Structure 1
């Protein structure tokens, strides 16, 4: 009986040893199959205390093209939303009356040119007769006066002809610069009058955001204040914050609203933005340099920032891969906050000191 108990204990110890061996082998195989992933240790960084102000997108260069002459609009060459080049024809105004006036000025100029030629010949003859003492000084003076009067009339007629030709050219309205037609309130057949707006043109390469800040907030701005632009209406609904290329605070204060106008130029290359769009201007102060990992209390003003490329967006889900102690990626849902450039703030779902995978595509292939 003791022999049977010894055999049973020996068999039990052998089975436990085999099970431990299989477990260690499986763990080693798992670690061998898990490739090293590029990661980043998340550390709390300085957070910005900011306030937002409603703003509107404006064009730095916007022109209301008005008529300089009167006449019926004969032809429209563009429509609202068209991009035009400098010097491109925008519309044409009936110029028949102006053309007839120019033709009449040309005919009258020819008549005056003939009269001047006759006066010149007559003055030359009178000078020759005066030298031969066949006429008096009074006769010579009269011929000279007639010659100079013909010259003056000819110059006046040439100036009038130039005005008539200029008036004819004003019936063709051209673009003063390359831009976009924002508004076209006229139609073919409408009467154009001097000063009447015909269309609105703006330059899409130079846009800015204008916000009216309370006087207290405007005067509190400092050189180290952080300014950012948010345009919720951008395609895709991305509420990324843009860094202005130029900031200008107008020195005048509106007496009715006690506000000051803050202008922020948009950086070049931002597509889908047009004048009139709603925007926000964020004004903030930096609380300090990046904080250490131990100083992560909510009262410290610290925030967790991760690269935008490390995030995964699936429908309404925002997630990223968190690496455990063995380097294995685990998909975790997070709640996101503000976006600044190429980094995004994580409000919840991630703790300071944890390591995340910076390449979610590579992490998704690891099983």
Structure 2
């Protein structure tokens, strides 16, 4: 007969088997974790290897060089005619004879309207008759004075009568002079019923119509002379220090396709109380298409400076400090900029920079924002900053 094994024997074997299974399970889990980590690392490496490299064209990159910057002061304002006039009624009455309209030419002294002169003509006739009557009284007083003077010499009358005649003559002469003055006033009022243009130009506004009754100082026409123009611009006092009479300016005027050259004609010696600005007046040529009231903007050339500069459009401002995107060792680096002088190279706004050596390549605005550290490749040599 086969003897039975004790229970402790089987318990030992069961524990041994459980231990082996636990060890095997632990090893399996460890190998699985290491494999997952290895695969994640390999995926990360592959992802990094697949990071795109931007290809930049020659127009996307500019090379920093030392250039001559034209320093300017910006300005804007409205172009106004040098000579303008408002034709106003100088006497009250009914408007007659209006024939001019906006855009019609006029000459200096030309009659552009009349005011009903019936009353003015009657007043002239009245004062003329009063002057004639006063002149007749002077003649009577003069004859009386002459007669009394002769009688006094002959001793027929006293000197008192002569004194009275003298006083009457003086009074008559004064009355005559007053009548003549009243006649002059009446004639002036009659002349004021005729409205004439004070200058040669064009009608810019017609403000009344025939048959309307106007009061004194009512505007009837506005006239502008288009042979000369001026621009009034307000600039900061700090900028006005460098502005001098005779300096040139380059303006862009609305409606005109070509830039307009202007000259600083005058500078106001006082600062405007409300805006704390200085008014500068520029003489603008009378080019074809120039009109009263056109808006213009541009800059006054105040000098020049040689400096390392970059286009203003290449300077980005989406961070607290302005910066440029520099291409360094095949990657993009964001380099902050310190404040520097600004100016023009031709017509392109430029900004002087410090800390960027000549030959540094940076991205223009058209390249857009590229993340710092991104690899880039140039398809052609970069352009210079011009």
Q: Same fold (TM over 0.5)?
A: yes
| Unpaired stretches in structure 2, ≥5 consecutive residues | 1-65, 313-345, 349-381
Residues 293-344 of structure 1: per-residue CA shift (max 9 Å, x gap): xxxx98499xxxxxxxxxxxxxxxxxxxxxxxxxxxxxxxxxxx959xxxxx
What is the CA-CA distance between 1:224 and the residue it aligns to? 10
Deviation of 1:84 after TM superposition, in Å, equals 1.3
Contact kept in structure 1, 2:207 and 2:221, CA below 8 Å: yes
**Deviation string, structure 1 residues 6-48 (Cα, Å, up to 9, x no partner):** xxxxxxxxxxxxxxxxxxxxxxxxxxxxxxxxxxxxxx98564
Q: Give the equivalent residue in structure 1 for 2:282.
A: 264
Q: Is the aligned partner of 1:276 residue 2:288?
A: no
| More deviation, 90-99/54-63 | 54-63
Return the match for 2:270 from 249, 252, 258.
252
Is 2:172 the counterpart of 1:150? yes
Structure 1 residue 282, shift from structure 2 partner: 1.9
**Corresponding residue for residue 84 of structure 2:** 62
What residue number does 2:255 align with? 233
Q: Is the 8 A contact 2:91 2:192 kept in 1?
A: yes
Return the offset for 1:54.
2.9
Q: CA-atom RMSD, angstroms?
A: 3.2
Q: For the structure 1 residues 133 and 222, does the alpha-carbon distance in structure 2 shift closer, same or farther, using more than 3 Å as the test? A: closer
Q: Which secondary structure state, in structure 1, belongs to the residue aligned with residue 100 of structure 2?
A: coil
Residue 134 of structure 1 aligns to a residue in which SS? Answer: coil
- Aligned partner of 1:82 among 104, 111, 122: 104
Q: Which residue of 2 aligns with 1:321?
A: none
1:57 partner SS: strand
In structure 2, relative to structure 1, the CA distance for the partners of 1:136 and 1:260 (3 Å cut) is same
Q: CA deviation at 1:288?
A: 5.4
Q: 1:113 to 1:102 in 2, by over 3 A?
A: same
Cα 1:209/1:133, change in 2 over 3 Å: same
CA contact (8 A) 2:248 2:261 kept: no
Matched residues in 1 for 2:296 and 2:149: separation? 81
**Does the 8 Å CA contact 1:67/1:194 hold for their aligned counterparts?**
yes
Measured in 2, the distance between the counterparts of 1:278 and 1:88 equals 31
Greater shift, 87-96 or 195-204, is seen at 195-204
1:218 aligns with one of 236, 240, 245: 240
Question: Which of these residues, 59, 68, 72, is aligned with residue 94 of structure 2?
Answer: 72
- 2:192 is aligned with 1:170: yes
What secondary structure does 1:114 align onto?
Answer: helix
Aligned residue pair count: 254
Larger radius of gyration: 2
- What is the TM-score normalised by the length of structure 1? 0.61
Q: 1:256 to 1:111 in 2, by over 3 A?
A: closer
The residue that corresponds to 2:5 in the other structure is: none
